[in-house]
């Protein structure tokens, strides 16, 4: 009998350096607001998370310093490589993170980008 093809790895990019530099307290799953060429670059695994971090500004969770390479076949509507991107989470979760950052200190670090049900998700972690 022929073996079934193994399912492709849903992980698009991971930040292994974060586990070395920080103590991971808790992990969260968030959606991410991307444009068309950003999605195509993410699916091509052209993402670098090394210097990325997340901040809460005006009640929204924003992802900074994540490098998503320009799409090779994009035209003049191609995206900016290191722009601020909005993370999508429930309001209660954002308020919980905001409270933790205000009282305990720490930071929010993206650990990995992955596919879930055809959508691109980001795993962020509250770290100290």
- Mean of the per-residue pLDDT values for the chain? 87
What pLDDT does 10 receive? 86
pLDDT of res. 104:
82
Q: Residues 108, 24: contact at Cβ < 8 Å?
A: no
Residue 5's pLDDT is: 55
pLDDT of residue 128: 87
Is the model's pLDDT at 54 over the cut of 90?
yes
Does the pLDDT at position 68 exceed 60? Answer: yes
Q: Return d(Cα 106, Cα 49) in angstroms, integer.
A: 18
Contact assessment for residue 35 and residue 83, using Cβ atoms and an 8 Å cutoff: no
Average pLDDT score over residue span 1-30: 80
């Amino acid at each position: 009998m022929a073996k079934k093809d193994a399912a492709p790895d849903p992980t698009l990019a991971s930040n292994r350096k974060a586990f070395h530099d920080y103590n991971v307290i808790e992990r969260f799953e968030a959606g991410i607001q991307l444009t068309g060429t950003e999605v195509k670059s993410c699916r091509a695994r052209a993402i670098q998370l090394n210097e990325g971090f997340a901040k809460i500004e005006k009640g929204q969770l924003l992802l900074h310093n994540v490098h998503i390479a320009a799409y090779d076949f994009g035209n003049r509507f191609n995206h900016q490589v290191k722009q601020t991107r909005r993370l999508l989470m429930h309001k209660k979760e954002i308020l919980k993170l905001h409270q933790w950052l205000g009282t305990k200190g720490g930071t929010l670090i993206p650990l990995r980008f992955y596919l879930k049900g055809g959508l691109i998700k980001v795993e962020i972690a509250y770290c100290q």
